[in-house]
Amino acid sequence: MRAEKGEYHISRADVYAHRKGIIFAVVMPGMLNRRFEYEASFITAVADCSEALRGQLYLAATRSYMGNDNKLIFRTSQLPDFYRIPVVATGDVHYHHPARRDLQDVLTCVREKCKIQEAGFRLHQNAERYMKEVAEMKRLFRKYPSTIYNTMVISEACNFSLDELKYVYPE
């Protein structure tokens, strides 16, 4: 209600006030600094969130196939030692099957109001953002088996059905 249509204004206080029954995953930055660490300001923000969302917060490790996955996942895997935040294996999923990559690109162009020939770096760099089989995720995160376990814990906590969706018209 604080924002114009198509915009949003949400604060950490808003999130904390409505956290009951929600599981949160921090999407980690896709780059490290020159010392191969996450920026201190990001780590501070994660530490603040961990205090307010204890037991509901996870760090999301993703293989993006951009060349720095091993460094990123290694650094992410070290954070639970300091902040007691478990790490989950994720796929940064945008579509259910690799064949849907073209549709994802078209939707990106609609959102960005551009032609596919002009989209360039607005599109994902590869077609790996699809839902992978459990065996493939276990292979990708074989050095970090707890990430798969934590992902399964979250999966088992989810009890949602699309049948539950109903449109609520504004008054």
Residue 121, in any domain of the structure = no
Residue 72, in any domain of the structure = yes
Residue 27, in any domain of the structure = yes
Residue 171, in any domain of the structure = no
Residue 59, in any domain of the structure = yes
Per-residue pLDDT of the chain (171 residues; tens, 9 = 90+): 788 988 889 999 999 999 999 999 999 999 999 999 999 999 999 999 998 998 899 999 999 998 899 999 999 999 888 888 999 999 999 999 999 999 999 999 999 999 999 999 999 999 999 999 999 999 999 999 999 999 999 999 988 888 888 888 777
- Return the pLDDT at 163: 86
Residue 101, in any domain of the structure = no
What span, in angstroms and rounded, lies between the C-alpha atoms of 87 and 8? Answer: 28
Residue 26, in any domain of the structure = yes
Residue 102, in any domain of the structure = no
What span, in angstroms and rounded, lies between the C-alpha atoms of 72 and 57? Answer: 19
Domain holding 88, by residue range, is 12-93+132-155
Burial of 148 (0-12, 13-18, 19+ CB in 10 A): middle
* Number of Cβ within a 10 Å radius of residue 129: 20
Count of the separate structural domains present in the chain: 1
- Return the pLDDT at 8: 87
Q: 51-80 pLDDT, tens per residue? A: 899 889 999 999 999 889 999 999 999 988
